[in-house]
Every structure is written in C-alpha cells, then in structure tokens.
Amino acid sequence: MRTIIDLNKSTIRKLKFLAVIENSTVKSLMENAIEMYVNQKEREILNNLSNEEKEDIGLLMFMQQSDVKDLVSREEIFRALKT
C-alpha cells in the first residue's frame, strides 16, 4: 500500500541522516520504525488484557487460519468432544 505522510523539514533531515548512518533508505527506515511501533503497541495492548480476553483473541486468530471449505459432520464433533 502506498501512503503519503507529511513530515516537517527537521524530521526529514534527521531521517536522511539516520538513513546514511544505517546504510539504508529513508523509506526502509520509516517502514521499520512504523513496524516496531505497531508491534510495541500490540504487545502493550495484549499485556493489559485479562486472561479471558486473551483466550478470545487467540480463538479468533485460530478461527481466521481455518479453511472455510473444510467441513466436519456433527457426529465427528460430538465424537471429539466425548474423548
């Protein structure tokens, strides 16, 4: 996805300087910084959730990974629950 971000001249200068030091591009530096920020915020949010909320999110993530075309009969479900 391509998104335009407006930054002031001072920040752009600093980004260019950091990119030279890191032997990188401004674009990749910004992408890495944004990814680190999002991951940090995600961890903070997850750490503040109750165990029940964490279980709900885990179940949601697990359900999103499932194949919606893969069907199981009612009998198979009840057999699995009995064991």
Amino acid at 47: N
Global confidence as pTM = 0.60
What residues does each domain of the chain span? 9-82
pLDDT at 66: 81
Locate the DSSP E strands across the chain. Answer: none
**pLDDT, tens digit, for every residue of 13-63?**
999 999 999 999 999 999 999 999 999 999 999 899 999 999 999 899 888
Residue 68 has pLDDT above 80, yes or no: no
Question: Rounded to 5 degrees, what angle do the CA atoms 47, 50, 56 make?
Answer: 100
**Mean pLDDT, residues 69-83:** 87
